[in-house]
Amino acid sequence: MQILNHLDKIKQTPIYVIEEEKLIKNCELLARIKEESKSKILLALKAFSFTRALGLLSKYLDGATSSGLWESKLAKEFMGKEIHTYSPAFKDDEIDEILFLSNHIVFNSLNQLKSYKEKALNAKVSIGLRINPEFSSAPKDLYNPCARFSRLGVLAKDLSEEDLDGVDGLHFHALCEESAQSLELVLKELDKKFKPFLKKMKWLNFGGGHHITKQGYDTKKLIELCKSYSQKYSVQIYLEPGEAVAWQCGSLVSSVLDIIENEKKIALLDTSNEAHMPDTVIMPYTSELANARIVRDDLKEGEFSYLLGGISCLAGDIMGEYAFKKELKKGDKLVFLDQAHYSIVKNTTFNGVRLPSFGFLTKDNKLEIVKTFSYEDFKRRN
């Protein structure tokens, strides 16, 4: 991470720092996949709506996938290009503006389709329907849109060909941090359950959850799947990754405020897992830290280990146990890695904790402080 060369310039922590060079690297891979597979790739804004980088992303990608009015407005303002809006349920008082902003609209149920189809047709917005393939290898029910009782998408048994009058495309989202092999399994189910419907469509959206930019991802297989599906059903394929776009593109820098001891050494930081890295609590996982090792077994010779704890009052505000090559001291800066996606968009002022600033490290190595937050922001939200 380039940020490690700029820590001296950071006067105020916590701060998320996004690295342009890393984003470009991810985008170049996505652009190659687009080109070779002839599919279109959209940024899922819910994972990463960092406005400073959206102009850059829109140069490489075909546009954005939005989850409702606010994200569609953001996409219009900062990205341009295509806007595809999907929400589990749209609201009467927002639908006109959403249709005005969107190129595609994806409905979650036959009720919603019926309610808004005329409006969408009049607005000349391409209409899609989310389907539930009832198959997913998602790691956990929280991230499994195909689990029993799912509210996301229409089941094959509830769909008839007349329902799809006026509908141009089908959309599914069934993956979470998954491989091209997982996609292949979902597509097999799709073939089994939705074949007669697929034949009538102009486009097919494979949703997100493709871990494309992770090392070892089988891009060749993804390209083949997109191509073969596109040919088989004469459809335009869309992919809408979120996490994969900003994967490993930014970090959260925090400072050590105090060091105490209770059987183990504990370093208290000016950040919080609950408020600033919520996925480490929800997913859950332990964040990697620059220049340190997550302690999962015995310490090695010459290592110093610390529990890293947050600034909130939550007992569980512990990032994990880490081993360092030297002892920590007050004022040291610690860099949590891969905190771009699903961190900035999810942070909170829980416990009155200061919101991290946003930094952007440009490709010519300049650190911009893009946004800072103050007590006024906290007050307005409470």
Q: Does 169 bind ligand PLP (CB under 6 A)?
A: no
Rounded Cα–Cα distance for residues 271 and 253 (Å): 9
- Write b or e for each residue in 4-14: b if 16 or more Cβ atoms lie within 10 A of its Cβ, otherwise e: eebbeebeebb
Query: In the stretch 305-334, what mask flags binding to ligand PLP with x, by CB under 6 A?
Result: ------------------------------
Residue 224 vs residues 40, 241, 330: alpha-carbon distances, Å:
14, 17, 53
Q: Does 63 bind ligand PLP (CB under 6 A)?
A: no
- Closest CB 245 distance from ligand PLP, rounded Å: 8
- Closest CB 10 distance from ligand PLP, rounded Å: 28
Nearer to ligand PLP, 46 or 333 (CB): 46
SS3 280: helix
SS3 365: coil
Rounded Cα–Cα distance for residues 269 and 333 (Å): 9
Which residues from 266-305 bind ligand PLP, rule CB under 6 A?
Answer: none
Nearer to ligand PLP, 241 or 359 (CB): 241
Which residues from 199-238 bind ligand PLP, rule CB under 6 A?
Answer: 207-209
Q: Does 240 bind ligand PLP (CB under 6 A)?
A: yes
Q: Residue 87: which of 114, 63, 105 has the closest Cα?
A: 105
Q: Does 65 bind ligand PLP (CB under 6 A)?
A: yes
Burial of 338 (0-12, 13-18, 19+ CB in 10 A): buried
- Closest CB 355 distance from ligand PLP, rounded Å: 22
Q: Which stretch binds ligand PLP (CB under 6 A): 111-119, 196-204, 226-234, 241-249?
A: 241-249
Contacts of 235 by beta carbon, 8 Å cutoff, 6+ apart: 169, 198, 201, 202, 203, 204, 229
Contacts of 327 by beta carbon, 8 Å cutoff, 6+ apart: 304
Among 15, 176, 235, 237, which residue interacts with ligand PLP (rule: CB under 6 A)? 176
Q: Which stretch binds ligand PLP (CB under 6 A): 14-22, 39-47, 87-95, 374-382?
A: 39-47
Rounded Cα–Cα distance for residues 62 and 80 (Å): 9
Q: Which stretch binds ligand PLP (CB under 6 A): 41-49, 51-59, 268-276, 279-287?
A: 41-49
Nearer to ligand PLP, 246 or 268 (CB): 246
User: Using N-to-C axis directions, what is the helix angle for 219-233 and 20-37, rounded to 10°?
Assistant: 40
- Closest CB 85 distance from ligand PLP, rounded Å: 10
Q: Are 111 and 88 in contact (CB under 8 A)?
A: no
- Closest CB 96 distance from ligand PLP, rounded Å: 22
The residue behind tokens 């969107």 is 102
Q: Does 241 bind ligand PLP (CB under 6 A)?
A: yes
Which residues from 354-373 bind ligand PLP, rule CB under 6 A?
Answer: none
Among 34, 173, 333, 371, which residue interacts with ligand PLP (rule: CB under 6 A)? 173
- Closest CB 294 distance from ligand PLP, rounded Å: 23
Q: Are 110 and 118 in contact (CB under 8 A)?
A: no
CA angle 72, 244, 365 (to 5 degrees): 90
- Closest CB 311 distance from ligand PLP, rounded Å: 28
Dig out the tokens for 106 from the structure: 């994806």
Among 243, 270, 274, 321, which residue interacts with ligand PLP (rule: CB under 6 A)? 243
Nearer to ligand PLP, 182 or 251 (CB): 182
246: DSSP letter: H
Count of residues interacting with ligand PLP (CB under 6 A): 15
- Closest CB 157 distance from ligand PLP, rounded Å: 22
Name the residue with the smallest CB distance to ligand PLP. Answer: 208
Concatenating the DSSP letter of every residue in 31-90 gives: HHHHHHHT-EEEEETTT---HHHHHHHHHHSSEEEESSHHHHHHHHHHT-SEEEEE-SS-
- Closest CB 73 distance from ligand PLP, rounded Å: 18
Binding residues for ligand PLP (CB under 6 A): 44, 46-47, 65, 86, 173, 176, 207-209, 240-244
